[in-house]
Amino acid sequence: MPSVKSLDQIAIIWDWNGTLLNDVDICVEAMNRLLLARELPQISAAHYREVFRFPVKDYYFDLGFDFVKEPFEVPALEFIQHYRDLLPNARLFPAVHQTLESFQQAGIRQFVLSAMEQQLLHQLLQEHELVHFFEHIQGIEDHFANGKLAAAQKLVQLFDVISISGIMIGDTLHDASVSEAIGIKAILFSGGHFSDKRLQNSTYPVMQNFSEIRQFIENAIR
């Protein structure tokens, strides 16, 4: 973590799915609906957190989808429809509002970066009354979740996050690789789409909850 003198020198780029929004269970349910329709084996949440990866097309292939029989776009769009139907069941992780408010009051710049389609992302942040915490919300242009490096580069260009102490907080190794690509540090949260074991095998700091995240950020200025 770069040495900083005060919290207002820090900019945090938050991931959305699996970091602020606890949507693992609805992702598993949506995927199981697709698998059932194709007579493929169902998955558990534990298995999902071991195999989910980016680009998601590769994750679909690992689960048995045959892209000779159907193009990836077909199950991908079906998944989005099931996901949207299940979204009312997804909740924010505990202490999200308190953490975002605490950082905002400390003068920390906050952004959202997500592999979710931009319009849906903004809609969900509005529904959860989070929009006012963020300087900018950056999603992607389609529903296919190929990754978010291009979106991250756009965010950095627009808001010059690197010039201060930028930190990305996410729940996957993809978040960490994106942070490296744009030249900022990463903190990984183990409550989301990757298992704690997968994250702990990396070289990045891993936090179990938002209390640990807050403490880690605050320790940066001590």
C-alpha–C-alpha distance, residues 108 and 104, integer Å: 5
Mean pLDDT, rounded, for 47-64: 96
User: Which residue has tokens 């690789």?
Assistant: 177
Determine the pLDDT at residue 219: 82
Cα 134 vs. chain centroid, distance in angstroms?
Answer: 15
Q: What does the pLDDT look like over 112-130, one tens digit per residue?
A: 999 888 999 999 999 999 9
d(CA 176, CA 181): 9
163 CB-contact burial (10 Å; exposed 0-12 / middle 13-18 / buried 19+): exposed
pLDDT value at residue 155: 85
Asked if the structure places residue 185 within a domain, the reply is yes
Is the entire prediction scored with pTM above 0.85? yes
pLDDT band at 2 (very low <50, low <70, confident <90, very high): very low
pLDDT in tens, 165-214: 789 999 999 999 999 999 889 999 999 999 999 999 999 999 999 999 99
pLDDT above 70 covers what percent of the chain?
Answer: 91
* 202 and 114 in a common domain: yes
User: pLDDT category, 163, cuts 50, 70, 90?
Assistant: low
Give the H or E element holding residue 110: strand 109-117
**Residue 196 maps to which CATH number?**
3.40.50.1000
**Domain shared by 170 and 155, yes or no:** yes
Residue in the structure block whose two tokens are 């957190």: 49
Return mean pLDDT, the chain.
Answer: 91
The answer on 154 and 59 residing in a single domain is no
Verify that 98 and 190 share a domain, yes or no.
yes
For CA atoms 166, 172, 177, 182, the dihedral sign is: negative
Are 110 and 186 in a shared domain?
Answer: yes
The neighbour count for residue 171, using CB atoms within 10 Å, is 25
Which one of 56, 73, 89 terminates a domain? Answer: 89
Measured in whole angstroms, the distance separating CA 162 from the mean position of its chain's CA atoms is 20
75 and 126 inside one domain: no
Q: Judge whether 29 lies within some domain.
A: yes
Of the candidates 150, 119, 153, which has an alpha carbon nearest to the alpha carbon of residue 137? 119
Tokens linked to 22: 């606890």
Q: Please give the structure tokens belonging to residue 21.
A: 């929004």
Structural domain for 208, as ranges: 7-22+91-219
Question: Do 173 and 193 have their domain in common?
Answer: yes
Residue 1 falls within a domain, yes or no?
A: no
Last residue of a domain, one of 34, 54, 89: 89
Residue with tokens 């329709």: 37
Cα 109 from Cα 178, distance rounded (Å): 19
Structural domain ending residue among the three candidates 49, 70, 89: 89
**Is residue 2 assigned to a domain?**
no
Residue 192 lies in a domain: yes
Are residues 158 and 214 part of one domain?
Answer: yes
Domain count, the chain: 2
Q: Which of 30-39, 76-85, 164-173 has the weakest average pLDDT?
A: 164-173
Strand 91-92 versus strand 21-22 pairing type: antiparallel
Q: Are residues 95 and 198 in the same domain?
A: yes
**What per-residue confidence (pLDDT) applies to 6?**
64
